[in-house]
Structures are given as C-alpha cells and as structure tokens.
Structure 1
Amino acid sequence: MKLQFFAAIFPISFILASAQSTSYGSASYTEITTVSQKGPTPTVVFGGPAMPTASTPAIPPNVASYQLNSSFEITNKPVTRIFNWTIAARYGAPDGYYRSYITINGQMPGPLVEANEGDTLVFNIYNTLPNQTTSIHWHGMYQNGTAFMDGVPGVTQCPIQSGKSFTYRFNLTQYGTYWYHSHSSTQYTDGLFGPLIIHSVNDPLVRGTDFNYEQVIILNDWYHDQASTIVEELLSVNGYMGTAAAPSPQSGLINGHGVYNCSALSSTVNCTTLTPPEIIVAPNAKTRFRLINSGSHAQFYFSVDEHTLNVVEADGTPISGPSAIHRVPLHNGQRYSAIIDTNVGSAGDSYWLRAEMDTNCFRAIDPTLNATAFAILRYGSNSTSNPTSLDWTDVLGDHCIDLVDADLVPLVPKNAPSVVDQRVAFDSELGSVLYNNVSYSRFLFNQTTYVNYIYQPFLETVANNGSLNSTNVLYAEFPDDVGTGDIIVNNLDPFLDHPYHLHGIEFFIVARGSGNLSIMNAESIDYNITNPARRDTLVIPAGSYAVLRFANDLPGVWILHCHIAWHLAEGFLGAIVARPNAIAHIGIPSSVNDLCAALPPGQSLNTTAPGRKRGSFVISDES
C-alpha cells in the first residue's frame, strides 16, 4: 500500500522506471593506445567492509542536519575545532535497498563540518573497518605548509590501519564550499564522505544581505553492489558486467536519502520503497543552496521547479555567475552555490527539487535506474501537500560540460600570472595495458597508468631527496626557482568527458580549445589572464584541452586525476611535484611517518591498491 500511495504522487518518470529496458548513453570506451608491462598477469583480490549484523544499523539520513545554523558566529578570531570520528561499516537502506556501507559516527554522509577561515581543524580518526585501511582527503584545501595532511595513501601518507587511529590537523587559509572523502580505493563510493563549509569575514557573499538561509545539498550516485566488488571485476580482463566502462548506478541520493523503485526487482525482500526527503524553506526569502557532487560517476543537473537559480560560487570561489538559469550542472568533485528566491508561491506550497543525472555520459544505463533524485521543497513547516509542479522543459545535452568559464567571474578579482616559467602537458586517454600479451583496459597519462604503492608515499620520497618512479606514475617537477606554471591537459578520448581535480592548487583556467595542444603550440595561442575563472575541479570534454595556470608557491606533491572513481581505480592519475627543495624542509610529523613504520601481516613496501604487488602482481585488499 505504501508503494501504491507513493507512486500516485511521484513524477511519472519514476513510475515508468521498472518498464524500461537497458539503454545506452553516448559515452564510448575506445582504447587508443597499447602499452606493455613486464611481469605475470595480475590477479585481482579485493575485500569490502564486512556485512554488519542487524544490531549495527546506520543512523537514518537526516536532510535537515545539513542546514546551516544562523547562530554560527562568523568571526576573524581563530579557534581550534576538534572532531572525533569513528569510521565503521553499518547496515541500512539509503534508497530503500538494504546493504552494508561505510559511515562516520554511524551516519552517511558524514557530519557537517563548519568553521571559519583562520581556524585550526583537528580530526581524530579511528578506523574500525575490518580488514580495510582508510584515509580522509580534504577536497579543495590548499594545505599550505601541511601537504602531509592531504590524505592520499601512496602520495602524502601511508594508510590508517584497521583498528588504529590517526589525527589530521591543518589550518584554514581559504573559505567557501568544500567536502571531505576517503582517498582509499573507492571507499567514498560506499559512503565515506561529507561536507566542509568554511566561512569568512572576507567573503563578499553575506548572509542577511545576499541571502537569508543556507542549505547544504550533497548529491551522489548510489550503487547496490559494494564498490570493492565492482572494482575487483572492473580491473579484471572481462571487466565489471563484461566491460571496463564505468558502471551505471542504481539510484541517486540527496543528503543521503534516495528513492529506489523496489517493484523493479524480482524480489522485494531486501527493499522497501521510500518517500522522498523534504526540505523546508521560508517563504519570501532567499535560500543559498551549497551544492556538492560527491558521486562516483554521474554528472547531476540541479533544479527546482518554477524557481530560477542565481549562481554565486564555484569550487569555493565567490563569483558573479549565471543568473535566472533553470539548471546547474555539477560533475564529480565540483561545488556550486545557487540562490533561489522563494517568492514564487505562498506559505504551504510545495515544489519538486530535482537532481537529474546526465545519462548521456554513461555507456549503459541500468534499466531500474530512475535518473532523477527528488526532494520536496516546502514553503514553511505547515506545508503538507504533495507537489504538482512540472519540470523545466530544457533538454540535457549529449555531453557532460561545465558552466561556461567566462560566466564564472570571481568577485574578488585576481589576474593570472602574465609570464609562465614552465609548461607541461598531460595527455589522458583510455588504453590497453599488456601483461604477457593479455590486455587490460586502463587509463593513461602520457601512456603511463598509475600504480599506487600505498606504503611508499611520494611526499616522503621527495622529502628524502629521492625521485618518483616514472614507470608507475606520470609526474612533472616544478623546481623551487620556477615561479609560475602551466599544466596543459589534453583529453584525447574521443567520446568521454572527464572531471579533472588538482589537489592543493587553485588554478586559473586561462585557455580551452578543441583538439590537443602541444607545448610548442602553447607558445602562440591567446590566454585570458584578466580575472579568469578559478577552480580546483573542471570538466574537459572529449577531444579538447584546457590550460591550467598556477603560482608555484605551495611545496608538495599534488595529484591530478579524473574524479570519476572508476576511472581513477583504472589508473587515471598523475602528479605535480612543486618545489622539491622546500619539500625536504617541510617537516613531516612523526605521526605521519609512524603510519608507514609498522606494516600489517601480509603487507610489504610493494603492496598496491588498486594496482598490483610487484613480483607476484597480486592486488591487495588493503587500500
């Protein structure tokens, strides 16, 4: 009866979901290059979090817990904020389908972290995941002077062992909308992520002037198979469900809450169709939605029926952005703030809030997937009626693309450097890697697929005056006497759009174009250096390039990777070594070194994840 009632009030796209057959998007996984590797054929052995018993349920998602409290004091008086987090596997049904997933203090998404620019954040992490290591990356944080806190096993640290603790501590030198997530294997696909909101007295966007209320909206695609199961098969010869393509999710979540059509399953024993979450807003006011795509594959288009959106922030940068638009696209890792004016209706009215996946960017679409995640936007707490509002008539395009860079004008002007001391080119593509003439699909940067030796962190290697192994990762070194740099990123894939994220460095997008750009030709093209868009994650469409300009002022090893989790698992990562001499004096704390000091049984310096173990080439279950 609950399902029948829900179907009666839900948009027609949900009702038809179970009648759909498998369909296909426009993404095509075409292997361009073949490279050979020495060694035996790799054997994939992954283990996911143990399935907890019914006595360890997760805390049900609470959409309202991500509403920012107006009583939070925005000040320039720094304080130290301490958070104690236990990472654990729990059991629940975020979209109605019961499965094991990863939680922080029993919840998914993780707790809202709210702080001020200048504050010091301390996170005491206790890992209770059985047989799994873990980590936390602070997406978009500069980590100025604390590159060892970036949270990437094999790059800035060794992983946190099962049953062990570690403390992340860093200072906030920026403000805006950010998030945190595990950078161990594909754990964030299984729920290990959450929002990080940083306020500042210097923020030109002011509550009470530009908006009245703030609501964090975390969007993610959700899978019914555990991520470790998907990766195990994805990295095999045959791939996951017969392909190396990034798989289709089964549903989408809004602040940890989704609705899966259980009637599409042959058995509903493990599934209960839920009702959509509700978000209450004040009538005749302006609400700032801080949008975060914490997903693993899908680009979402965020919209509210009958309400236009004014975009005011992109990846932590306050902007004068597009106004009165119908939808905001955001890909994996990206963030936007969009303001709506709740003067369309009256107190008691309700409207559909939608997060629609652009399935044109999928190779195949799960026949049970309802590509739109819904929430009910209510005008006031007395609203009880179900929405009858209609979606905008805009049609999504065939490609996953960003908002236009030129429309994302920073409110705090900053010109890009006019002189570039060094340029490098990162050419990304899907390729075939041969082991004993057996072909495996992998992503490549300059014909190198990334192999992650999680107990040999890049940062430690460079701090000890060593060099990275170019057979395991493509890297570019920007010496200490190089003041500015350009990173040319060429997306050579003819039918795949990728969201690229650069750790540690906020870059200027100074050029884009179709085709690919060589270092030589980069000398003669025009660049936009007058207050260009500044981001940390951007989409580069198939068969095109972007030029990322930055000031070489943050010593560290900063990785550049596709933020589609499945592509990263398939080796889609390169590295920037910034100011190696300064790294030697960065002062890595003993607590970070201690993570590497005691290897667990069965592990060695050659353990990799999700790659191979040198010698036997066995993929470990540690990530």
Structure 2
Amino acid sequence: MLPVVILLWVIASLVPGASAGLVEHDFNVTWVLHNPDGLRLRPVIGINDYWPPPAIRVAVGDRLVVHVHNLLGNQSTSLHFHGLFLENATHMDGAVQVSQCAIPPGSSLTYNFTIHQPGTYWYHSHGSGQYPDGLRAPLLVHDPDPPFAFNEEHVISLSDWYHDEMPGLLAGFISKSNPTGAEPVPQSVLLNDTTSIDIPFKNSRHKTHVYLIHVVNVGAFAGQYLWFEGHNMTVVEVDGVYTQPQTASMLYLTAGQRYSFLLTAHNDSASAVGNFPFVASMDTTMFDTVPPGLQYNATGWLVYDVRRPLPPPALLASDAFDAGSPLLLDDAALVPHDAIPLLGEPDVAVELNVNMQTRRDGTNYAFFNNITYLHPVVPTLYTVLSANASNSGSSNADGGPEDARIYGTYTQTAVIQRRGQIVQLVVNNLDVGRHPFHLHGHNFQIVYRSAANAGTFDPVANASLLPAATATPIRRDSLLIFPNGFAVLRFRADNPGVWLFHCHIEWHLATGLVATFVEAPVELQQQYAPSSGISSVPADHLAVCAAAGVPTAGNAAGNTVDFLDLHGEAVPPAALPEGCISGVAGVAVVSLYGLAGDLDEDKQDRSADPDGVRDANAEPVLPG
C-alpha cells in the first residue's frame, strides 16, 4: 500500500488543471543509528530523527520551501537540489562557500524556490564530504502531461555504502600515507537504502500495465550497473530531460545520474514463470582493490505472485559490462524528445584538463588545469554582489565583477559575461580512472564523448567530430568521461548565477576537482539589488554566515578595498619539483594499469560458478 503522503500526491497530480501549489517541509537534521546493509550499525545523518531521509515530491510550477534546522551538534550542513536550475535563485543552490555559507550547528536556513522542470532529481548536502553519511534522497517533479503513458510509478535509489564515517575516511584519504590517492572502497551496495527490495507488479490478460521507474544513483563513488531479468527497459528521461523512447537491457548510472524508464508487466500466461530478479552492481573497475567479502551486488524482485519463490539472479559474462556491449545503453546516443538542435559556434570556450598529483606534503590532490580548488574566504556569490563600481570604476574594469581574478587563484573561475552566450566546455581526462562530471544550474548537450584512451581533444585534428555529431544531441547534467578520453559539451548561459562544475566522486570533489562559472555577473547584481550589494539576500542566509564567522563581502580573500589584492586567500600545499611529479605520476600510472588488469581478471574469475552454487558476490546475469 502506498504511504498516505505519496498517495495524495499521486491523486493530486491526476486532477486535470490542478494549479501550482506550495510544498513545505521542516527538516531537523539529526544523527540516527542505522544498519542498512545488515553488517554494521553506525551513525547516519537523518531527517527528523529518521533515516533514510524522505523523498521530496512536487509538481511542475510548485514552490518548494524547506526549513533546515541543523541539530547535528558537531557538523555544519547544507542542501543542494541536484539538477534543478533554480532560475533567479542561485543563492538556493546549497554549495558551501559558493552560493551560501554552511549552516553551523544550532542554526537554521530556509530554501525557497519555484520548480519549472519535470523529472527525476535528488537533494543532498554539498559540503565537507557529508552526504555519503546519509543526507541524501530522491526529489521527483510530477509532470501533469508527460509524453508517455503509464499506470503506476516507483522510485529506486542506488548507493554505495561505507561502514565508517566520512570525516575519518577523508582524513585517511587526504594523507601522506596515501600518496597515490587510492579512494576508500565501500563495503556494500544499497537499493533504497537496504540490500534488497520487492516491487509489486500487476498482470492482467485484459490490459497492459506499464510502470514508470525513476532511478537515482545517490552514491559517493561507484558507478552502478542496473538490469531487470525478463524485462526490457524503455528509457524516457535522463537527468530531467525527456528522450525519444529507447529500449535498453542494462543501464550504467554514475554518481549523480538519473534515469526514468517504462517497464511493461507480463500478462497472465507469461507471469506463470514466477517473479523476476533485478540487480544493481557496483563498477568494481573503479576500485584500486576489490577486498574479500565486498558486497558489490544487491538484488531486488519484481513480484507478480507473493506465493511463488524469489529466484536468484542468473550469471552474466564479464564482457557484458564493457563499453560498447550490446546490452549496455550508450547514454550519449540518446535523442531528446524536444529535438532541440545542436547549439551553434561557441561564444566562450573553456578547456579543463583533469589530472591527479601528489603535493610536496605527500598528499594527493585532484586538478583542473593544474589548479586544485580551494574554497574562497567569501562565498563566490557574495563576491559577485559586492564587487561594483565603487571598487573598479565600471563593471568590466580591473577588479569588477567580470574580472575572474577577484574570485581567487584556486577557484578555477570562468566568467561568462552576458546572458545567452553559448559555452563550449572541453574536458580532457588525463587520468586512468573514470570521472562523472556534474554541472549546476544547467544541463549540457553531449556534442561528442570519446572512447577510453582517445587522448585529448584537438580542435584541428578532431574538427570533423563535431559536425558529425547528432543534429539533436541529448542533454543531461551529469556525464561519465572515460579514462584518458575527452568530452565536448555545450550549453547556453541563460541562467545568471554562480554555478559549479565538478567531479561527483566525493573523494575527488573533496580534493579539488572543481571549477566555477560566474554567469552574467552584472545582470546577477541587478537581479539581487541594483544599488545595495547583498542586501536582498535573505536574512537567514546572512545570519548563518555571521554565526560561522564567515564574511559576506569582498574578494576571495575577504578584501573589500582592493578586489585584486588576494593576500589571505587559502593556498594549497606546494607542488613537488617537476622531476618528482613525473616520477611519482609514472609510478602511479603503472600501478593503476596493473591494478586495472587484476580487476579485469577478477571479473572473469567471478563470472564463473563451477560448482553450480550461486556465490553472493558473483556477478548476476541476464538469461540467454
């Protein structure tokens, strides 16, 4: 039976002409003890003394108001509404020291904005590596008139899970005892924050019953494979963008990605075979090692008949997980339902080169263009709003809001001067690992994504790739870029604000794989307060800054007199001498390639089941 809140939401959404409304929540952020994988009881971050946090459900046009009260006692917090554009409300984006200050213990802050996008999203903390400790849940936006038909819907969250809390894990990760930057390996994979779930399925020989399934990867690190035995998925949405229907046997979701797809229930005669497993399986090739006993699979069931057994999943050959496998959907090949054409030649070109380096203090950091991100002293939005004619003489003069230098040496800031400009973002992954990148405030067209080991994008040598791209490329806000490969992305800067672009592996976000877009800063100033700086920012937003002792005016170093004087900004550990960097990097590459080979062999070993007894860690597979 559906919970009453969900049932009322579904009923309201079916009423023709239902008007936009107000959806309001009071969230007390609290510690809770929980044991989601049945292996270890640990503190988790919940809402209103309950875990997992509740899914938020709204309709297009609704105003969402969330009152957040930080009752953790020992940690600050925030909420980011992942995938929502937050038009005219960049201060509601929740990114700490970017669009707001963190909410310290004992303080409160209200998020208040209108939602215009249908589809599948999620919310999570966006500071201090916090959300993997539990502060994350789906956010669904109902569309009264979607371009597909269905009878019922369900939501599935996928997550990797750690038995230890993030502060300790981060301290060990960013440590001279971990110079290669080996990420902590999770202990388990979860489905809806447990290890197995049942989804009731109806069958009827008189009519077709279709389910809309929303799936969100709310994990910290691992990509997830997902497949359903005996059923094909018809993908109809990715990251809030409707797609032309596309049949798929298997999906891959990076951290932060979302899909919606249709599953058609079998009729009476077909259901005689019983119930059907479905499987979420972590991408173990992302791990430096695969520890013994790792629970990297979780199984759920489509339950047609509760009287019949729940069969174990079948085994799947290891090559089914390879990019290019006919079982695995290529998300870059999807076509948007609205058929928006490829954006034209860019007005702004940004290139970001990804690499990982060991610093002089022996710690490993992540870099865009040899810059590892560090939070500014003043949240970047407040720097935009306090940099004006009194500092520079004009908006585009030295030290004005359009001068990228005022936002800090280590924030990797690109300024997009005017609304409507087309931005081309090229990301070259110089690392041997997969990286899922997420853009705040926008979705982007996937103009081209290379295979692994394609090298870097060359605008001359690779010029023919872009005209060959699809005329209507798919858009999404989170994308996997393959090892030693690249992606070419485009978006229209039609949403003035301060927006991050970052790797959604929480370990890499914490070590600096972040860039900042300051979009239409002069218009942004006018949007907030034409003549009074940050005075129109909500009082509670400024109050949490005061409670935390964070300044709300000035450049990245807090200088309110000379916006080009960055003395006092945060500075990363010094780099190793060039020869040392090459030596360490060479060792790291050799080590990681070796480990990748071991992982491939491990996959092959685990795909076999010679004694006919299903190993709980064996890779399940589609029959046939």
Shift of 1:507: 1.0
Q: Which amino acid aligns with 1:357?
A: M
Shift of 1:348: 9.3
SS at match of 1:329: strand
SS at match of 2:271: coil
Counterpart in 2 of 1:130? 73
Contact 1:67 1:216 in 2 (8 A): no
Shift of 1:194: 0.7
In 2, the alpha carbon distance for the partners of 1:309 and 1:573 equals 34
Judging changes above 3 Å, is the alpha-carbon distance between structure 1 residues 190 and 64 closer, same or farther for their aligned structure 2 residues? farther
Instruction: Give CA-to-partner distance per residue, 1:498-544, whole Å, 9 cap, x none.
Output: 00000001111112333212567777752436221010000110111
Instruction: Give CA-to-partner distance per residue, 1:541-579, whole Å, 9 cap, x none.
Output: 011111111111111111000001111111111111111
Instruction: Give CA-to-partner distance per residue, 1:447-504, whole Å, 9 cap, x none.
Output: 0001124x521111112125544422211111026621111111111x2110000000
Counterpart in 1 of 2:162? 223
Counterpart in 1 of 2:500? 559
Judging changes above 3 Å, is the alpha-carbon distance between structure 1 residues 614 and 399 closer, same or farther for their aligned structure 2 residues? farther
Which stretch shows the higher mean deviation, 368-377 or 156-165?
A: 368-377
Please state if 1:187 is matched with 2:127: no
Please state if 1:148 is matched with 2:91: yes
Shift of 1:385: 2.2
In 1, the alpha carbon distance for the partners of 2:173 and 2:89 equals 34
In 1, the alpha carbon distance for the partners of 2:411 and 2:57 equals 35
SS at match of 1:71: helix
Q: Which amino acid aligns with 2:184?
A: P
Counterpart in 2 of 1:460? 382
Shift of 1:358: 1.4
Counterpart in 2 of 1:19? none
Contact 2:22 2:64 in 1 (8 A): yes
State how 1:489-504 maps to structure 2 within 5 Å. Answer: 489-493=427-431, 495-504=432-441
Please state if 1:113 is matched with 2:78: no
Instruction: Give CA-to-partner distance per residue, 1:402-453, whole Å, 9 cap, x none.
Output: 842453111122113223211111111112223xxx3321000010001124
Judging changes above 3 Å, is the alpha-carbon distance between structure 1 residues 347 and 411 closer, same or farther for their aligned structure 2 residues? same
Judging changes above 3 Å, is the alpha-carbon distance between structure 1 residues 406 and 292 closer, same or farther for their aligned structure 2 residues? closer
Q: Which amino acid aligns with 1:326?
A: S
Counterpart in 2 of 1:278? 198
Contact 1:409 1:533 in 2 (8 A): yes
Q: 2:363 aligns with which of 431, 440, 445?
A: 440
Judging changes above 3 Å, is the alpha-carbon distance between structure 1 residues 425 and 66 closer, same or farther for their aligned structure 2 residues? farther
Contact 1:277 1:375 in 2 (8 A): yes
Counterpart in 2 of 1:417? 343
Counterpart in 1 of 2:587? none
Please state if 1:337 is matched with 2:260: yes
Q: 2:108 aligns with which of 144, 151, 165?
A: 165
Counterpart in 2 of 1:509? 446
Q: Which amino acid aligns with 1:311?
A: V
In 2, the alpha carbon distance for the partners of 1:296 and 1:346 equals 37
Contact 1:76 1:117 in 2 (8 A): no
In 1, the alpha carbon distance for the partners of 2:505 and 2:549 equals 30
Judging changes above 3 Å, is the alpha-carbon distance between structure 1 residues 148 and 390 closer, same or farther for their aligned structure 2 residues? same
TM-score where L is the length of structure 1: 0.78
After superposition, the CA RMSD in angstroms is: 2.9
Instruction: Give CA-to-partner distance per residue, 1:352-399, whole Å, 9 cap, x none.
Output: 22101111221112212121011232115x445232552555634356
SS at match of 1:538: strand
Contact 2:443 2:476 in 1 (8 A): yes
Counterpart in 1 of 2:522? 581
Judging changes above 3 Å, is the alpha-carbon distance between structure 1 residues 525 and 219 closer, same or farther for their aligned structure 2 residues? closer
State how 1:334-413 maps to structure 2 within 5 Å. Answer: 334-343=257-266, 345-346=270-271, 349-380=274-305, 382-383=306-307, 385-393=309-317, 395-397=319-321, 403-405=329-331, 407-413=333-339
Judging changes above 3 Å, is the alpha-carbon distance between structure 1 residues 119 and 211 closer, same or farther for their aligned structure 2 residues? same
In 2, the alpha carbon distance for the partners of 1:257 and 1:197 equals 20
Give me the identity figure in percent: 33
Judging changes above 3 Å, is the alpha-carbon distance between structure 1 residues 418 and 572 closer, same or farther for their aligned structure 2 residues? same
Counterpart in 2 of 1:94? 36
Please state if 1:287 is matched with 2:287: no
SS at match of 1:420: coil
Shift of 1:245: 1.5
Counterpart in 2 of 1:54? none
Judging changes above 3 Å, is the alpha-carbon distance between structure 1 residues 383 and 180 closer, same or farther for their aligned structure 2 residues? farther
In 1, the alpha carbon distance for the partners of 2:356 and 2:571 equals 25
Q: Which amino acid aligns with 2:422?
A: T
In 2, the alpha carbon distance for the partners of 1:64 and 1:360 equals 38
In 1, the alpha carbon distance for the partners of 2:186 and 2:324 equals 16
In 2, the alpha carbon distance for the partners of 1:234 and 1:537 equals 24
Q: 1:570 aligns with which of 496, 499, 511?
A: 511
Contact 1:400 1:539 in 2 (8 A): no
SS at match of 2:321: coil
SS at match of 1:448: coil
**Larger helix proportion, structure 1 or 2?**
2
Q: 1:84 aligns with which of 16, 22, 26?
A: 26
Counterpart in 2 of 1:591? 540
Q: Which amino acid aligns with 1:486?
A: Q
Please state if 1:486 is matched with 2:424: yes
Counterpart in 2 of 1:548? 489
Judging changes above 3 Å, is the alpha-carbon distance between structure 1 residues 236 and 470 closer, same or farther for their aligned structure 2 residues? same
Q: Which amino acid aligns with 1:230?
A: L
Q: 1:244 aligns with which of 156, 178, 181?
A: 181
Counterpart in 2 of 1:58? none
Q: Which amino acid aligns with 1:367?
A: P
> Any unmatched runs of 5+ in structure 1?
1-61, 259-275, 608-612, 619-623
Instruction: Give CA-to-partner distance per residue, 1:319-365, whole Å, 9 cap, x none.
Output: 12431x32111110000112222207427932222101111221112
Counterpart in 1 of 2:13? 73
Contact 2:183 2:507 in 1 (8 A): yes
TM-score where L is the length of structure 2: 0.78
Judging changes above 3 Å, is the alpha-carbon distance between structure 1 residues 383 and 292 closer, same or farther for their aligned structure 2 residues? farther
Counterpart in 2 of 1:22? none
Judging changes above 3 Å, is the alpha-carbon distance between structure 1 residues 615 and 570 closer, same or farther for their aligned structure 2 residues? closer
Q: 1:174 aligns with which of 106, 114, 117?
A: 117
In 1, the alpha carbon distance for the partners of 2:460 and 2:97 equals 33
Contact 2:419 2:519 in 1 (8 A): no
Shift of 1:111: 0.8
Shift of 1:583: 1.8
Judging changes above 3 Å, is the alpha-carbon distance between structure 1 residues 600 and 485 closer, same or farther for their aligned structure 2 residues? closer
SS at match of 1:368: coil
Judging changes above 3 Å, is the alpha-carbon distance between structure 1 residues 566 and 316 closer, same or farther for their aligned structure 2 residues? same
Instruction: Give CA-to-partner distance per residue, 1:114-161, whole Å, 9 cap, x none.
Output: 111111000011111122100000000101000000001110000111
